[in-house]
Copies of this chain bind each other. A is one copy, B any other.
């Protein structure tokens, strides 16, 4: 396993493994709207634990998918505005594959 141009292939792999976790994917989906969301909000909406949520956000962050900003006692996370198009395409496709939140039909 040394032939492919790992240099970059591994970035893709990293992105994929980051996405391949329910809580993380759900969080990213929420952040994908571009807005800011604090850990506490995500925690509530995803019925997760403080430590778990924080940890997962850390993973998303170190994968470069999201950005954080300290605002008083909160930390606001949001979708990294500088993602490479290829990465955006992947996340878009993944989120599109998720079951929608079923708005009521007309």
Interface residues of A, Cβ cutoff 8 Å to B: 1-10, 12-13, 15-17, 19-23, 25-26, 45-48, 86-87, 89-90, 92-94, 96-99
Contact = CB atoms under 8 A, between A and B. Distances in A.
A23 B96 CA distance: 26
B86 A97 contact: yes
B13 A16 contact: no
Given A3-B46, A46-B1, A47-B2, A94 B16 contact: yes
A4 B22 contact: yes
Given A4-B22, A47-B2, A9 B93 contact: no
A49 to B, nearest CB: 9
Contact of A22 (B13, B20, B92): B13
A51 to B, nearest CB: 13
